Amino acid sequence: MKKLSLLLGTLGGATAGYLFSNKKLRDEIADAKDGEEAARLLGAHLQKDGKKLAKQIQEFIASEEVQKNVTKAKKFAEKKVSEAKKELTASKANITKSATKAIKKGQTKAKKTVKKTTAKAKKSAAKTAKRVKSNVRKLS
């Protein structure tokens, strides 16, 4: 609802500004017989002035100065995209390098842990076997 009231306020302000700046339109609307004729007059003026405005905008966009600025903007955007790609590539390389180092460290730690665990298991198995043999001798 707020958007609608804002839109209507903006349109009302724009219409009032248009009426204040166009003396010929004010005079024609003052001589209008009824509201319908006034609306028709306003519509005709808006259409005529809208065509002029559209033509001026097209000429402005097609102007050499605007086209130069568009070309500059395109070059600037391409440069920034290129820089961003280079930064991403460098970041990717750094991340890959870090990940590789972390994996190698993890592999080394895992190998050491496996060795220690295997050695402990062998010792434990040897002790258990020794106990079993001594218990078997006692029982026999």
Asked if residue 139 belongs to a domain, the reply is: no
Asked if residue 77 belongs to a domain, the reply is: yes
Asked if residue 21 belongs to a domain, the reply is: yes
Statement: residue 1 has pLDDT above 70: no
Asked if residue 123 belongs to a domain, the reply is: no
**Helices 2-21, 35-62: crossing angle, 10 deg rounding:** 90
Asked if residue 114 belongs to a domain, the reply is: no
Total number of domains in the chain: 1
Helix (H) or strand (E) holding 52: helix 35-62
Asked if residue 122 belongs to a domain, the reply is: no
> Looking at this protein, which amino acid is placed at residue 23?
K
Question: In the chain, pLDDT over 90 holds for what percent of residues?
Answer: 31
Q: Which domain does 34 fall in, by range? A: 2-106
Nearest alpha carbon to residue 140 among 132, 128, 130 = 132
Q: Which residue has the tokens 């209507």?
A: 8
pTM over 0.85: no
CB 46 within 8 A of CB 22: no
Asked if residue 130 belongs to a domain, the reply is: no
∠ CA 54-59-64, nearest 5°, is 155
